[in-house]
């Protein structure tokens, strides 16, 4: 009789090989190639932030000594916020999309609750607006966080009702009442500029959700009427609006309603195509009081000329193209709506700020995203970019990068 060969036993090292494979898979997920949209959003945000720090240093050092501060104090304070915001942006990019869906209500309630605190003794007023909190000597603007939380919350609500968006009642409720309450809490402090940006953000979320035009028009008309009423029922805002139609030679306009805008235009005209050179602005020496804040774009035009302004606009265009590409590629309605609201917020705020500098719009007190001095403003847009990067991680990586990763993985397996 022939003997049957014994079945070979399993090798004792088989189990560690499985664990090693699992660890290698986990590392592969961490270091897998990111999409082009991720790279464009991150790079444009970082370049705008760095550009803003340089211009804030140039614009603020001129008058910092008059305020009893060091020439680099304001720029260092902004750099500290950037040093916190940039790592936070990449940390938030690691959060899954389901996290934003689950925390949408919590984020909106928290930000609106913080905004309501401005009507308590913690509130702080500045230039006619009461939209700051003064806690332990530090000022904080909660309305900036409402922008991000409202975009995420609106995306969540419209995503939950995506099968019912053909009916107006499901589009409007609870979207419009809750959103109008959040925006009303901002306008209650007198900040019309931020309220307008929030209205545009809300319309942007509805547009990217794909609701029918007849449903979209009604809230758009209501918002337009509300903004007009808010603007013309206030004497100060009405004067600022009417000053747009006054010539620059009108002395009453110059000393009353359009001082900063006229000097902003003079500064940009003085810069020409190539500018006066970094640090050589004339208007920042007391002629343009908000040089490092709302009028930072005027300093860019004066010191770096038309080329510098075109560079700033080009970075915003690059940012917008990346987000719109991400919206087009995503098959998740929540991602499309929330990302659409965020990009409408950032782009509309940038256009309003630049329009104010060019005397196209009245003074609204809206900062230039990424670049204007203001810790809460910079932190909010960097956090918004973190959410966008989180969405961008759900997109497939470039085919070439994916193919290269597959080849690397295959060669590693053969060598082993």
For residues 247 and 257, give the distance between their C-alpha atoms in angstroms, rounded to a whole number.
12
Contacts of 351 (CB under 8 A, 6+ apart): none
Confidence of residue 167 (pLDDT cuts 50, 70, 90): confident
Residue carrying structure tokens 């203001």: 374
Mean pLDDT on 175-184: 94
Among the listed residues 185, 202, 49, the one whose alpha carbon sits nearest the alpha carbon of residue 109: 185
Among the listed residues 81, 84, 215, 195, the one whose alpha carbon sits nearest the alpha carbon of residue 144: 195
Mean pLDDT, all residues of the chain = 84
Locate 11 and state its tokens.
């090798």
Residue carrying structure tokens 């809300």: 202
Q: For the packed helices 296-329 and 36-64, what is the interaxial angle rounded to 10 degrees? A: 170
In this prediction, residue 306 carries a pLDDT of 94
Contacts of 320 (CB under 8 A, 6+ apart): 343, 347
The 10s digit of each residue's pLDDT in 354-385 is 999 998 888 888 999 999 998 899 999 999 99
Among the listed residues 45, 136, 9, the one whose alpha carbon sits nearest the alpha carbon of residue 370: 45
- Whether 238 shows a pLDDT value over 90: the answer reads no
Residue carrying structure tokens 């804030």: 56
Among the listed residues 29, 207, 131, 63, the one whose alpha carbon sits nearest the alpha carbon of residue 374: 131
Residue carrying structure tokens 């997920």: 29
Listed ranges 4-13, 99-108, 233-242; the one with the highest mean pLDDT: 99-108
In this prediction, residue 35 carries a pLDDT of 86
Among the listed residues 185, 222, 271, 10, the one whose alpha carbon sits nearest the alpha carbon of residue 284: 271
140: helix, strand or coil: strand
DSSP assignment letter at 397: P
Which of 99-113, 200-214, 254-268, 325-339 is least confident? 254-268
CA distances from 279 to 23, 54, 133, 290 (A): 52, 10, 33, 16
The 10s digit of each residue's pLDDT in 100-150 is 999 999 999 999 999 999 988 888 877 667 788 887 777 888 999 999 999
Cβ atoms of 195 and 183 within 8 Å: the answer is: yes
| Segments making up each domain of the chain, as ranges | 45-396
In this prediction, residue 29 carries a pLDDT of 54
C-alpha triplet 315, 367, 302: angle, nearest 5°: 65
- The neighbouring-strand residues paired with 63 are none
126: helix, strand or coil: strand
Name the pTM for this structure: 0.86
For residues 30 and 38, give the distance between their C-alpha atoms in angstroms, rounded to a whole number.
15
Among the listed residues 138, 151, 139, the one whose alpha carbon sits nearest the alpha carbon of residue 130: 139
């Amino acid at each position: 009789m022939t003997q049957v060969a014994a079945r070979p036993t399993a090798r004792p090292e088989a189990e560690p090989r499985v664990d090693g494979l699992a660890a290698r898979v986990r590392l592969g997920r961490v270091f897998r190639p990111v999409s082009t949209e991720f790279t464009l959003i991150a790079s444009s945000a970082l370049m705008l932030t760095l550009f803003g720090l340089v211009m804030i240093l140039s614009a603020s050092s001129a008058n910092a000594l008059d305020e009893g501060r060091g020439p680099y104090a304001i720029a260092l304070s902004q750099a500290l916020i950037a040093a916190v915001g940039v790592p936070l942006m990449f940390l938030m990019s690691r959060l899954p999309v389901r996290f934003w869906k689950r925390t949408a209500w919590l984020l909106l309630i928290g930000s609106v609750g913080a905004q309501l605190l401005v009507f308590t003794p913690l509130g702080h007023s500045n230039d006619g607006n009461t939209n700051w909190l003064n806690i332990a000597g530090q000022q904080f603007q909660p309305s900036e966080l409402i922008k991000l939380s409202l975009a995420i919350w609106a995306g969540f609500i419209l995503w939950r009702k995506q099968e019912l968006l053909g009916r107006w009642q499901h589009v409007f409720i609870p979207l419009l009442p809750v959103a109008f309450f959040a925006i009303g809490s901002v306008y209650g402090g007198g900040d019309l500029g931020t309220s307008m940006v929030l209205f545009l953000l809300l319309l942007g979320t509805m547009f990217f959700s794909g609701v029918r035009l007849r449903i979209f028009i009604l809230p758009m008309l209501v918002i337009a009427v509300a903004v007009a009423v808010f603007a013309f029922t206030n004497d100060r805002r009405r004067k600022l609006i009417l000053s747009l139609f006054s010539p620059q030679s009108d002395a009453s306009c110059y000393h009353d309603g359009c001082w900063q805008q006229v000097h902003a235009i003079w500064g940009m005209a003085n810069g020409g195509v190539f500018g006066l050179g970094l640090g050589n602005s004339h208007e920042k020496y007391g002629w343009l009081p908000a040089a490092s804040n709302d009028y930072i774009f005027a300093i860019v035009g004066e010191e770096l000329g038309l080329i510098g302004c075109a560079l700033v606009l080009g970075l915003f265009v690059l940012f917008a193209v990346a987000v719109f590409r991400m919206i087009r590629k995503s098959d998740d309605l929540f991602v499309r709506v929330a990302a659409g609201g965020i990009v409408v917020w950032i782009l509309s705020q940038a256009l309003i700020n630049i329009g104010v500098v060019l005397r196209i719009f009245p003074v609204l007190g809206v900062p230039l995203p990424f670049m204007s001095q203001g810790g809460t403003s910079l932190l909010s847009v960097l956090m918004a970019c973190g959410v966008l990067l989180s969405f961008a991680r759900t997109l497939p990586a470039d085919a070439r990068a994916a193919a290269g990763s597959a080849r690397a993985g295959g060669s590693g397996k053969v060598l082993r």
